[in-house]
């Protein structure tokens, strides 16, 4: 099952009694500010949830599986990494392992 932004808005609205449009605006603003900070290269830390930060992957040479003799240059690029907080890790560890 996937938790979508719509599901999140609906659940928060039901639990708090706030209107869905009001909750949607708060959730969207939160995500917008997080994106803005990451785009500037800043770290976003949410206590007990986790840390989002921008990391730069080095340039490397890849291979085309259909033509292994051909090298494909892959340029360096920035990407967002997430490290789960202690409480989130503890909750996820309770899940049964799938084979």
Read off the pLDDT of each residue in 55-62 and give the average, rounded to a whole number: 94
DSSP state at residue 95? S
pLDDT of residue 70: 87
How far, CA to CA in Å, does 60 sit from each of 45, 68, 76? 30, 15, 7
Q: What are the phi and psi torsion angles at 66 (to 5°)? A: -80, -20
pLDDT of residue 65: 86
Residue 61 has pLDDT above 70, yes or no: yes
Q: Write out pLDDT tens, residues 9-54.
A: 999 999 999 999 999 999 999 999 999 999 999 999 999 899 999 9
* pTM across the whole model: 0.78
Q: How far apart are the first and last CA of the chain?
A: 18
Q: Centre a 10 Å sphere on the Cβ of residue 85 and count the other Cβ atoms it contains.
A: 15
């Amino acid at each position: 099952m996937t938790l979508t932004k719509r599901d999140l808005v609906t659940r928060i609205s039901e639990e708090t009694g706030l209107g869905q449009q009001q909750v949607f605006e708060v959730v969207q603003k939160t995500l917008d500010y997080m994106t803005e900070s990451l785009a500037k290269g800043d770290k976003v830390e949410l206590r007990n949830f986790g840390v989002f930060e921008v990391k730069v992957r080095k340039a490397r040479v890849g291979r085309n599986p259909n033509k292994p003799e051909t090298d494909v240059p892959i340029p360096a690029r920035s990407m967002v990494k997430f490290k789960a907080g202690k409480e989130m890790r503890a909750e996820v560890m309770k899940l049964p392992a799938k084979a």
